Structure 1
C-alpha cells in the first residue's frame, strides 16, 4: 500500500508516539521511513553583534545535537522493527514548507505526524504545522493524538 512514509518529529512525546505508529505501519506495508526534524533558525536581533554571533553558534550546536538525539530514538525504533530508515535534520523557518518539500523530494506517499508539537502559543496564533501540511500537502496525512 505505502512504500515511503515521512515522519516529522520535534522531540515531543506526541511526535515520538506518531513515529512509533508510522514505523509500525511501515512494517506492515513493508515500507521505508524517513524521519525529519525541522530546526528553526536562530532569531537575530540587531544589538550587540558579537554576543549574538556567539549565541547563534551555541544555538545551532544545541539544536543540531537535539535533532540527532530525536533522530537516533526514531532510528532505534525502526531498527527494532526491521524497517529501513533514513533520518534528516534541516534548518527551516517554516516546518510545513520543509515537510511538503521533503515529501516531493523523497517521493513519500504518506506523512505520519502528531496533531500538535512544541510550538505552544505560536501554534495558536499561526495555526498548527499539522493543519498546514493537511492543507498544502498532496499525499495522505495520518494525524496521531
Structure 2
C-alpha cells in the first residue's frame, strides 16, 4: 500500500493574503465575492479596505460588506482608512496598504461609482494595476 498526499494547489501558496478595496459599487462587491471564493477554496486570508474622505459615514458600507460576508464561512478583516484629499488619493492609500500589509493579490472591481458608464476601467483600478508591485485581478 502506498501513501497518497492530499491534493495541493499552487494557487494556495501564491495567494495567501488578499486585499479587496471596496467603495460600495456592485463591481467592488463582485470582487469581494471572488475573494471569498478564493478564501473558501484555497484558505486565503481576506482583508477588505474602504478608503474614505474625512467625515464620511462608513456605517452603510460596513453593513453592505458584512451582509456579503455573512454565511460564507470565511473570517474577513474589515479596514477603514481616512485620507486627506489635498495630500493623497484613494489609489495612493490603497497602494500604501498593499505595501504595508504584504498582500499577495489585490482583487478589485473594474469601475467604481463613476458618473461615466462608458469607461471600461476606472481611474483607481487603472492606477492600482499600473503602480502595484503585486498581482492584481480586475473583476467586471
What TM bracket, shorter-length normalisation? 0.7 to 0.9
Match of 1:30 among 31, 39, 43: 43
TM-score (norm 1): 0.74
Aligned to 1:57: none
Query: Residue 100 of structure 1 contacts residue 136 of structure 1 at CA under 8 Å; is this kept in 2?
Result: yes
Match of 1:91 among 79, 82, 92: 82
Is 1:63 the counterpart of 2:57 in the alignment? yes
Residue 99 of structure 1 and its aligned partner are, at CA, apart by 0.9
TM-score (norm 2): 0.76
Is 1:110 the counterpart of 2:105 in the alignment? yes
Which blocks of at least 5 consecutive residues in structure 2 are unaligned? Answer: 1-12
Distance in 1 of aligned mates of 2:32 and 2:65:
10
Residue 107 of structure 1 and its aligned partner are, at CA, apart by 1.2
Aligned to 2:4: none
What number of residue pairs does the alignment pair up?
120
SS in 2 for 1:36: strand
Greater relative contact order, per chain length (Cα 8 Å cut-off, separation 6+): 1
Match of 1:14 among 27, 50, 54: 27
Which blocks of at least 5 consecutive residues in structure 1 are unaligned? Answer: 42-59
Aligned to 2:139: 144
Is 1:3 the counterpart of 2:16 in the alignment? yes
